[in-house]
Structure 1
Amino acid sequence: MYFDLYLPFPLPPDTDDGQSKKSKKGKGKAVPTPIPSTPTPVKKDCWSGIESRNREVFVKKVALSGHLGYSVVGLTVSPNEPSNQVIPSPFSSGLPFPNLDPRSSSYASSSGSSSKTPLVQVSRYHMRLDDNRVHPLTSQNTNTLKNYDILSVAPTSEKAFQLACTDLSNPGPNQISIITLPLHERPFTFRFNWKQMRQAQRNGVVFELLYSPALYPPSSTSPETSRRYRQNFLSNAREVIRITGGKGVILSSGSNGDPSTGLRGALDIVNLATMIGMPSNLAKESISNTTKNVLLRAQARKTFKAVMSIPKLVPPVDDSDNSDMPSSKKRLSDITDVEQGNNAKVKKVRV
């Protein structure tokens, strides 16, 4: 079972505009918010407001991921700019492809469910961190963040990296699970602090390397820039592997361009991981067991203090011969059958 936890999900244009306006809001005279005359319409599905072209590109990405052998994909929602507001999960009303997810009721009801390959779809909220220390991982956004399965950040400076490894990685309802390192953009001006990285790993946080933006940039990128992206990625990735020893590191696609060039098969990713210095066993675990443990640890965010959860009681399936009998009569009939059996055994012993 292979995982790709970074597939960017397209957002409606009004979502990006609203987030940018909130992030640029400064101090000043408060302007009263106008009360709308009509209630805000509720989204029927996750595709509401998304352009048809962006939808087709995302459908091709998911289809290619399943064809390449991935069993779990992460539908990633990422705002364009850092903000203290959270974009509500578009998957609250339903998954993009419920007939492919075995957890959905549509999977069992769809025709040919036993022959088709299942594809588990998990939600992820990804945000950037900068020197302003502006992030939405606060108590007032806890209820909104609970609708996402995974929380991740991408630090862009030394202070942001320290914040992600120390405060944001502590166990709690808003704990991050992944720290994404944009290794291709430029040679890192800040030094990777191995103590901070080890502290984050002790809290269950993993470091993510995105290969698609570095190795398969958009066609509009110049050849010189593409070459520099590859150099930066390979050199910085080797440094991360040297510090961590290859443990607690995962690789994801993060493709924003053409899906035919931005996605690669699982064995190609294993070969890439060995090229940057990762041991062969850890290279395979970077897209299998390590990513699986990320999802298991992320479930603790939705429990009480990451320890206790509310169990769901599932009643047992009744027998076919007693299906029409009330439950109280079933219990009485079972008790009488046991008593009659015990009396018969006693009589046999006396004889």
Structure 2
Amino acid sequence: MAVFMDLNVLFSAESSSMRSLIQTAAHLGFSTVAINYVFEPTAKKKQEIPTPTPINDLMTCLCLRQGRSRPIRVLNRLTVVMSDSSHFRPNAAEYRHFDLLAVQPTTEKLFHAACMLYDVDIICISVTEKLPFFFKRAPVNGAVERGVVFEVSYSAALRDSTRRRYTIANAVSLMESCKGKNVILSSAAEKPLELRGPYDITNLALLFGLSDGDAKEAVSSTCRSVVLHGETRKSAGGIISTMKTCSEASSQQGAPPAKRAKPHPTP
């Protein structure tokens, strides 16, 4: 049985609106959703990275289940919209408050850096406008080798025909470069009516150039890999190493060498 995930549900300050979104996702059959906090720095004034709402506070008095089985899992995600390299701070302590970390580069240079250098889980592809650059296979393959995935969201395509055209064009361009690998499809929904079920999303993915198998993986196994990548990224600084202490080393050096048993002569 496939485990479906939607790793991009836009954050709303209204708790009732967030609960309604998560509840709808649960009824549609998603086992995991990620609440997305979009951070777009500007040069005019200094902005603070948002602090995620505690999941326990959000889910108070509301028992949400995936269909009729397991409780739904809710994650926190941060997406940094980058128009300058200074907008992404690799060592920012605030990033560790989020389960998933994504960037949305707006130039070819930043896209190349996100694919090859930045320690992130997701690279978002803009679907609301025509991209000012083409996807080159070298950086795309570099991101795939590092375990970073590309995200295409579909809710903008439901709002008007212009955004629908941009969504399909940008998605098809991406699929031609990555061959459908390391791609996830998410909603970026602002309200429950913009959510679609997993099998509706896989049908929509065929318009983007994905095969049946890749379309199903884009809402299931690849999403699971993203979650595991995020857990690994957060714990990467906690590597444990072992070494001998001075007392152990000196005791071993001072100990006499073990005597070998002399072989008995054969008759």
User: How many residue pairs get matched?
Assistant: 234
**Residue aligning to 2:250:** none
**Residue aligning to 2:29:** 69
**Residue aligning to 1:263:** 195
Q: For 1:279 and 1:189, how far apart are their aligned partners in 2?
A: 27
Greater strand fraction, Structure 1 or Structure 2: 2
**Do structure 1's residue 206 and structure 2's residue 149 form an aligned pair?**
yes
Matched AA of 1:209: V
- Which residues of 2 match residues 84-233 of structure 1 at below 5 A? 85-91=48-54, 94=56, 96-97=58-59, 117-130=70-83, 132-139=84-91, 141-142=92-93, 144-168=94-118, 175-183=119-127, 185-213=128-156, 215-217=157-159, 226-233=160-167
| Greater RCO (CA < 8 Å, at least 6 residues apart) | 2
Q: For 1:203 and 1:190, how far apart are their aligned partners in 2?
A: 22
* Stretches of structure 1 lacking an aligned partner (at least 5 in a row): 11-49, 102-106, 169-174, 218-225, 311-351
Give the superposition deviation at 1:95: 5.0
Deviations 1:105-124 (Å, cap 9, x if unpaired)?
xx9xxxx9xx6641001111
Matched AA of 2:39: P
Matched AA of 2:189: S
Change (3 A) 1:160 1:136: closer
Give the superposition deviation at 1:154: 0.8
Runs of 4+ in structure 1 off by over 3 angstroms are 80-85, 98-101
Q: For 1:229 and 1:196, how far apart are their aligned partners in 2?
A: 26
Matched AA of 2:167: F
Matched AA of 1:187: K
Of the candidates 194, 205, 223, which is equivalent to residue 291 of structure 1? 223
Give the superposition deviation at 1:216: 1.8
Q: For 1:309 and 1:118, how far apart are their aligned partners in 2?
A: 33
User: How large is the RMSD of aligned CA atoms in angstroms?
Assistant: 2.4
The TM-score with structure 1 as length reference comes to 0.62
Change (3 A) 1:136 1:275: closer
Matched AA of 1:298: G
* Native 8 Å contact 1:84 1:135 kept in 2: no
Change (3 A) 1:271 1:304: closer
Matched AA of 1:71: S
SS in 2 for 1:264: coil
* Native 8 Å contact 2:19 2:58 kept in 1: no
Give the superposition deviation at 1:267: 0.3
- Which residues of 2 match residues 311-330 of structure 1 at below 5 A? none
Deviations 1:156-187 (Å, cap 9, x if unpaired)?
1222212211221xxxxxx210001012x222
Q: For 1:238 and 1:88, how far apart are their aligned partners in 2?
A: 34
**Residue aligning to 1:302:** 234
Give the superposition deviation at 1:302: 2.3
* Native 8 Å contact 1:100 1:117 kept in 2: no
Matched AA of 2:6: D
Q: For 2:166 and 2:137, how far apart are their aligned partners in 1?
A: 20
Give the superposition deviation at 1:96: 1.5
**Do structure 1's residue 78 and structure 2's residue 38 form an aligned pair?**
yes
Identity of aligned residues (%): 27
Change (3 A) 1:188 1:128: same
Give the superposition deviation at 1:241: 0.9
SS in 2 for 1:78: strand
Give the superposition deviation at 1:89: 2.9
Q: For 2:144 and 2:57, how far apart are their aligned partners in 1?
A: 31
Larger Rg over CA atoms: 1
Q: For 1:124 and 1:192, how far apart are their aligned partners in 2?
A: 25
* Native 8 Å contact 1:7 1:74 kept in 2: yes
Deviations 1:16-64 (Å, cap 9, x if unpaired)?
xxxxxxxxxxxxxxxxxxxxxxxxxxxxxxxxxx4xxx33222211111
Change (3 A) 1:304 1:269: closer
Q: For 2:72 and 2:79, how far apart are their aligned partners in 1?
A: 21
